[in-house]
Every structure is written in C-alpha cells, then in structure tokens.
Chains A and B, each alone.
Chain A
Amino acid sequence: MLNFDWLSGVSQETAKMIFFSLYLVIGGLVLLIPNDYVFEGIKKEERFWYMNLKIWALTVLGILATIYYIF
C-alpha cells in the first residue's frame, strides 16, 4: 500500500494525462484570480498587460506542458 501498488495498473500514457490534467486545473485556477489582486502593488495608471502575472504563469505552464508532451 505504501508503495502505491494499487496504482500499478495505470499505464504511463494515463499517468501523463494525469499530469496534463494537473496543469489544466492550475491554469484554470490562475485564470480565476482577479486582475486587481494580481496587480496589487502597482499603481492603476502604471498597469500594463505585460505585467499581468496571470499571463506569465500561463506561459510557464504552457511551456511545462509542452516539455511533458515532447518527452
């Protein structure tokens, strides 16, 4: 049980899909965060689209998913 024997029937392909699902869930949660919270600390007139940390996080997650797709 401690060795996760009960998951030994799960194939590598299915396991990979579990990881992809995780990235999707995280990406979805990131999208739910309000912009005002993301920009907290920056004056309203100095907020530009490229400073939106949701875009940064989604880009990083996209690259991560690509790496797992390749390998």
Chain B
Amino acid sequence: MLAGIDYFIVIAYILGMLLLGLYFKKFVNSSEDYFLGGKSLPFWAIGMSIVVSDIGALDFVGVSGQAYRYGVSVGNFDWVGSVPAMILAAFIFIPYFWRGGMYTIPEYLGRRYNKSVRTIASVTWILFFALDLGVLFWASAVLLNVLMGWPIWISILSTAGVVGLYTYFGGITAVIMTDVVQMIIMFTGGFALVYLSLDAVGGWENMVEKISTMGPEYRSHFDIIQPSDTKSPFPWTGILFGLTFVMANAYMIGNQSIVQRCLTAKNEWHAKASMIFGSALKMFVPILVLFPGLMAVVVHPELADGDQALPMMIKSILPPGLVGLMFAAFFAGLMSSVDSLLNSTATLFTKDIYEPYIKQDATDKHYLKVGQITTLVLLVIGVITSPISSDFPGIYVAIQTFMSYFQGPLFAILLLGIFWKRTTQWGGLSALVIGIGFAIFLNVFKDQFFTIEDPFLYISWWSFLLAFIINIAVSFMTKKHSEESLKGLVFSSKILTQNKSL
C-alpha cells in the first residue's frame, strides 16, 4: 500500500531520528545527565514528550476501534482521565519529587516508607517494562505489517537499532528531544487524516446527523457520559471512581516514565509547567485517535471489527505522501514508547536495585555505565523475546491489565505517604501487598463480582480503597515515624506560607 514517496518519508524519518538522537550524546557526562538530562530541559519539550510517550501505534488503532463501537465516551481517558491528575501532579507531587532530587518514584517510597516498599514497587515496574518491551515490539510490528505491508523483522530491528543507539548514548535528553519531533509528526499525520476524513463525511454536523439516525445502537455515540448500567466498559461511575480518582492519578503521579521526565526540568517552575502544558496538549489527542473512528462509522458502516476502522480510513482517504506521514506517525508512536521503557527501566534498575543492593559507593561514571549497559541488555532481551508473544495472543492486554491492578494500591500509598504524617512503613507495605493481591483476586473472579464485560476501572477503584483503608488501619497499630525522618517527604501547610523548605 506504500508508494515510493511514502518509503522516502519513512526512511528519512528513521534516519533523522537517529541523527538527532545521537547529537545529544555530547551532553552526557554523568549519571545525572543520563537519567535526568542534567536537570536542564525546558517545559515545552518535557510536556510534548509526556504526551507522545503515552500514545503508541496500538493506541491509534485501539482507540479508533473503541470510538467506532462506543462513540466519544472513549475520549474520557485523555480528557477527564488526564487533565485533573496532571494539574494535581503539577502543583503537589512533582515539586516534592523535584526538590527532593529524586530519580525514581520507588526512591520516594523508600524514603517515606522503607526499603521493602521501594524494592517491591521498583521490581514490579521493571518486570512490567521488560515484559512490555518485547510484547510492544511484536504487537506494533504486526500492526505495521497488517496496515502497510511493512515486514515484521524490519520494523523490530530498525526500531531497536535506532532507538537503542540514541537511548544508549544520549540518555533521557535524546529520548525527550526525539519525542518532540515524534509528537510533531504524529500530530501532523493525525490532523491530516482528521481533516480529510471530515471532508469525506461532509463536515461535522452532517456526520452527527448521519450517525444519530443509523439506529438505536448509535444513539449514545455522542454522549461522553454513559449511564452506570451501560454495556460499554465506560459507565460514568467507572470513569469517575476508577479512572478520574485512581488510575489517572496513579498513571500521572506514580508512573516512572512520566514523572522521570518532569524531574529533568531546569527548575521547579519548568517542572510544574511541563505537566500543565502536557495536559493542554493531551486534550487534542482524542481528536487524533477518536475522530477517525467516529467518521469511519459513516464511511465504512459495515465493519465487523472496530479495530479495522483506522486502517480502512487511511486506505480510503489518504493520498500517497500522507500515507507515508501517517506511517511515520505510527513509527513515532512505537519509538517513543520503546525509548521511554528503555530509559525508565535502566533508571529503576540502576538506582533502586544496583546501587542499594549490588554495588554501593561506586563512582558516578560506574553508574552511568551500568545505566547504559542495562539499556542495551533490555533492548536485546526485548528483541529476542518479541516473537514469543505471537504464541500468546492475549499477552499484550494481559500485561496492561496487570499493570492497571498495581496502580490502585500504589496510588493509595503515594497519596497517604505525602498527605498523612501518621502513615507508617508497615502500613504502606501491607497496603501494597494486600491491595495488589485483592486486585488479582477480583480479576480472577470478575465474572462473579461484576456485570460489565471489562471491569478494570472498578477493580482499580476497589483495590485502591482497600489499600487505603489497610494503610490507615495498620499505621494506627504500628509505631509512627519521627518528625525528622519525614522532613521534606510529607505535604505541609508551609507550602501555602511560601516556605521553600516545605
């Protein structure tokens, strides 16, 4: 399906990313440069990076498919599911992490609770990221093969080669600055598709009118708030309790690959601004990934599988050249996800596992080298393990689902850790372990507890609530931490009296 000009655009894009990423090699002289960009990056680059690393090639197809089936309610994930959480992160959590000079979220948990909480959180993230890498490689490569006929192993090896080289040498600075270009490409390709699709359906009002008269199953396609008894996975109760209160906050505040970007900011203002700027950009994401799915309802109303909506729109709407740009946008989604996983996992391993458990008090150059080697090892593992996922078709969804279950309890201990002085190390540890166990239990027996098809939003909420209650109960039963040990780790009203020491 790709024409000559499309191949030219894609190859130029891949080479451009490689050269741009390698340019940032000269800025890496220490482990702080490698993991935190020397704390020198501006808010706009970080904000763009946060947004692009959150959208993968699979999301383009998946979200369009859900919009085809369920309508605009899927937009909740990028609207109410991001903006309030990013504002909370910007004004409360990020300044604490930034001022504390932290590298990782588990590092905060270790200081606030104990080493076990830090290790459990870190190992869980590392396992998730490492497993996700191979699965992401394979699932994205298969998608690019189906969409464009691009050979699977060329996708994997070119992505691994380019991303591996610039992440190995340039660290997080290369990751963020290439993300900036990747976001511009993704938005340009996406908006081109939306603009031409809108033209094809005769404008927005015409599309709304056509879809609204297509039958009862399309009647709620333009209702962003779905009733609590809806059969779709997005009842408003799940959106409010599971997504807005728990998963969104856990993702924006507790996800290493998101928070680490903010910690690279050149000062505290830039750290806060990066999140708010990112939240502004986030509001455009549903336009890119959701609207093509909606328009496909008019252009291709008989699709058996909603996930075919986006590929069909690309095939039927885009001219040569723009197909290449859209393909580059998919590639950008894959690359930005892979570079985030690599750099975040290397940071977690070096700072939370290697430094405290394997070799303490080594030189800074040593930790820099460990970070680089970890990046390389992860990449090799990701490439080698990627074909395994072809034997387990549901593994991508399974990994994402597992991660969503970890996030409720994680957010519960983060929230109480920062806002409640009385929380103790044993409260945090028991909440994390029991909360994760409870989420797994609910998932295993979901058919007996829930009426909707995919109750991940509800499971996140209930596991969060249980972890929250357990943390409080166990904390009251165990010895509280000294004031001295909590300095700079717990929210203080001094923040409102302009005391910089918090």
Contacts from A to B (Cβ < 8 Å): 2-5, 7-8, 10, 12, 15-16, 18-19, 22-23, 26, 30, 32-34, 36-42, 51, 53, 56-57, 59-61, 63-64, 67-68, 71
Contacts and interface: CB of A to CB of B under 8 A. Distances in A.
B311 to A, nearest CB: 26
A42 B283 contact: no
B241 A4 contact: yes
Contact of B273 (A15, A34, A56, A61): A56
Nearest to B277: A56
A37 B268 CA distance: 10
Contacts of A7: 228, 237
9 contacts: A2-B449, A8-B228, A22-B240, A33-B496, A39-B269, A60-B279, A61-B87, A71-B75, A71-B225
Interface in B475-495: 495
Given A51-B269, A56-B280, 8 more contacts: A2-B450, A3-B452, A12-B226, A33-B91, A60-B87, A61-B83, A64-B79, A71-B224
Contacts of A51: 269, 273
The 8 closest A-B pairs by CB, nearest first: A41-B267, A41-B269, A41-B268, A71-B224, A4-B237, A15-B236, A36-B498, A56-B276
B71 to A, nearest CB: 9
B34 interface: no
A64 B83 contact: yes
Interface in B179-216: none
Given A2-B458, A7-B228, A40-B269, A12 B236 contact: yes
Given A60-B87, A61-B83, A19 B225 contact: yes
Contact of B495 (A22, A23, A37, A68): A37
A60 B222 CA distance: 22
Given A26-B84, A40-B95, A60-B87, A3 B458 contact: yes
B33 to A, nearest CB: 20
Contact of B90 (A19, A23, A57, A64): A57
Interface residues of B, number: 51
Given A60-B87, A60-B283, A68 B79 contact: yes
Contacts of A23: 84
Given A34-B498, A53-B269, A16 B225 contact: yes
A67 B449 contact: no
Contacts of B447: none
B97 interface: no
B91 A30 contact: yes
A71 B70 CA distance: 14
B190 to A, nearest CB: 18
Interface in B394-446: 442
A71 B2 CA distance: 37
A37 B283 contact: no
Contact of A19 (B228, B240, B496, B500): B240
Interface in B446-477: 449-452, 455, 458, 462
Given A26-B87, A41-B269, A68-B79, A60 B276 contact: yes
A60 B51 CA distance: 15
A48 to B, nearest CB: 12
B227 interface: yes
A60 to B, nearest CB: 5
Contact of A10 (B91, B228, B270): B228
A15 B269 contact: no
Interface string B72-116: 100100011001100110110001000000000000000000000
A22 B244 contact: yes
B223 interface: yes
Contacts of B170: none
A15 to B, nearest CB: 4
B229 interface: yes
A55 B36 CA distance: 28
B254 interface: no
B405 to A, nearest CB: 15
B268 A40 contact: yes
Contacts of A56: 273, 276-277, 280
B498 A63 contact: no
Contacts of A26: 84, 87-88
A26 B90 CA distance: 13
B272 interface: yes
Contacts of A33: 91, 496
Contacts of A71: 72, 75, 222-225
Contacts of B382: none
B235 interface: yes
Contact of A53 (B235, B267, B276, B500): B276
A32 B493 CA distance: 12
Contacts of B241: 4
Given A2-B450, A36-B498, A12 B269 contact: no
Contacts of B83: 60-61, 64
A59 to B, nearest CB: 8
Contact of B223 (A3, A12, A32, A53): A12
